[in-house]
Amino acid sequence: MTAFLDATNAAGLDGKAGKQAIKAEYRGQISVKGAASFSGSVDLDEHFKADEPNDNRWDYGVGFTAGTEFALWIEPHPASGSGEVAVMLRKLEWLKAKLKTPDFADLAALTSAAEEKGEIAYRWLYSGKTSFRAGGKEARQLAQKGMKLPERSIQVG
């Protein structure tokens, strides 16, 4: 078992090998390059929707191995307007609160490992249209919370 899957188990989550926990429609937008590989994934939204139906929940955690193992958090979400930034920031607050709990300590450590590698740990995946631009108000709002502008695809490695 991988450190990511061990960490999901410690958090009481149903981690899956590779990208299996990610809905098929998004899997192709997340890839690795070079010697990097997927070490696991988890669908947080599915896990917490019954207990927290009205919360803005983050969707996916994904474990990667590229020399060391680390975790990224990926949220497929529309990027059609500035109102979506507010929703994303609420989802991020929800996720960061989870990562501060004792059960999520190992996942938090894997998130820190991503940041130590220079990865942006919290990623916004979108399809469709967006009008956000680098240096704009939305980019600054996201950067203040440790995110960058939405991406059409995410490549790690």
pLDDT tens digits for 47-94? 999 999 999 999 999 999 999 999 999 999 999 888 999 999 999 999
Residue given tokens 């059609």 in the structure block:
80
| Residue 82: closest CA among 137, 146, 134 | 137
Task: Identify whether 55 is part of a domain.
Answer: yes
**Contacts for 92 with CB less than 8 Å, ≥ 6 apart:** 58, 122, 145, 146, 147
Which pTM value belongs to this model?
0.95
With b meaning 16 or more CB within 10 Å and e meaning fewer, what string describes 36-51?
eebbbbbbbbebbeee
Task: Identify whether 123 is part of a domain.
Answer: yes
Task: Identify whether 148 is part of a domain.
Answer: no
Task: Identify whether 152 is part of a domain.
Answer: no
* Residue 73 lies in domain: 3-132
Residue 113, pLDDT score: 98
Q: Sorting pLDDT into bands at 50, 70 and 90, what band is 157?
A: confident
